[in-house]
Amino acid sequence: MKRKRQYRRGYPVAVLVGFEDNHAVFWNVFSRVVKPSGRFNLNGKRADEKVLYNFHELVIEKIKPALNEGVRSVVVSSPVRTTYAQQFLEHVQKHHRYMIQAKNPQCAKFAALVGSAEDKIKVAELVKTKEITRLIEKTTSEEADQVVGSLEKHLYASANDSVVLYSLKEIQDKVYSQDKNKKTQNEYLLLTDKYLAESRQKSKIHRLMQIAQNKKIKTKVVNAETAAGNRINQFGGIVFFATE
């Protein structure tokens, strides 16, 4: 049943954080649906710098699990005539600069837009706009380019601890046999949306993706029409890489 729900909602695309006057609402954006994932209240007044700092730190901690699972696109929003989203981005810039540094392979792409994400109705209206579509496409494209850049480094690495696999069977064997408690660096499972849509082995691929995510392997579906997607297509549409 869980795999069926995973299939209906699609694959993870981004995290959406809606900032309101006294709270923040969190949403997981999938390729097919948007799901709520929590809410934090602002315990005090925004004018109090310490209160606002602690609030922003709670937001950072809330989005980190999604980033650790491979989602690298974060969209923040706040209602018209407010600067709540921008205040949060300034907090990231000042206190968590490592999260946005391009040289950091684990960095995230942040983008801001105007609009409330207070509830399902408002979020549904928000995600239908061309603005958020462009923002998500831009951030996910930049994110994919960065991940493929890491892949290229593994392909041409002189060290023998780099692993690159592009056979579905080899990837399955590797992922299924892997100890989920084993810590590796830059461990990714990449596939294109075209490969996922046209494969005759969808059930096997969705199971592979689910198990990879359960084992904390960063899993990403990339638009086949982008530069990153074209590179993955050269491997047949799917590739796994890691440093052991």
pLDDT in tens, the chain (244 residues): 444 444 466 678 889 999 999 999 999 988 778 999 999 999 999 999 999 999 999 999 999 888 877 787 899 999 999 999 999 999 999 999 988 887 776 678 888 989 999 999 999 888 888 777 777 777 777 778 878 888 888 787 655 677 889 999 999 999 998 776 665 556 889 999 999 989 988 889 989 998 988 888 888 888 898 889 999 999 999 999 986 6
Q: Residue 106 carries which DSSP code?
A: T
Integer Cα distance of 88 and 79 in angstroms: 14
CATH code for the structural domain at 2-128: 3.30.420.60
Inter-residue contact 76 to 139 (CB < 8 Å): no
Inter-residue contact 233 to 148 (CB < 8 Å): no
Provide the CB-side half-sphere exposure for 222 (13 A, CA): 29
Integer Cα distance of 191 and 240 in angstroms: 9
- Tokens read off for 176: 């299924």
- The predicted pLDDT at position 68 comes to 77
Query: Counting Cβ atoms within 10 Å, is residue 177 exposed (0-12), middle (13-18) or buried (19+)?
Result: exposed
Which of 77, 64, 150 lies closest to 108 in space, CA to CA?
A: 64
Q: Would the CA dihedral through 73, 77, 82, 85 be positive or negative? A: negative
Which of 110, 31, 32 lies closest to 76 in space, CA to CA?
A: 110
Which residue ranges make up each domain of the chain?
A: 2-128, 144-243
- The predicted pLDDT at position 12 comes to 80
CATH 3.30.420.40 fits 144-243, yes or no: no
- The predicted pLDDT at position 158 comes to 57
Helix (H, G, I), strand (E, B) or coil at 100: coil
Query: Counting Cβ atoms within 10 Å, is residue 196 exposed (0-12), middle (13-18) or buried (19+)?
Result: buried
Inter-residue contact 163 to 177 (CB < 8 Å): no
The continuous run of DSSP H or E covering 202 comes out as helix 202-214
Q: Which residues have a Cβ under 8 Å from the Cβ of 81 and sit 6 or more positions away?
A: none
Sheet holding 162-165, edge to edge: 162-165, 238-243, 185-192, 218-222
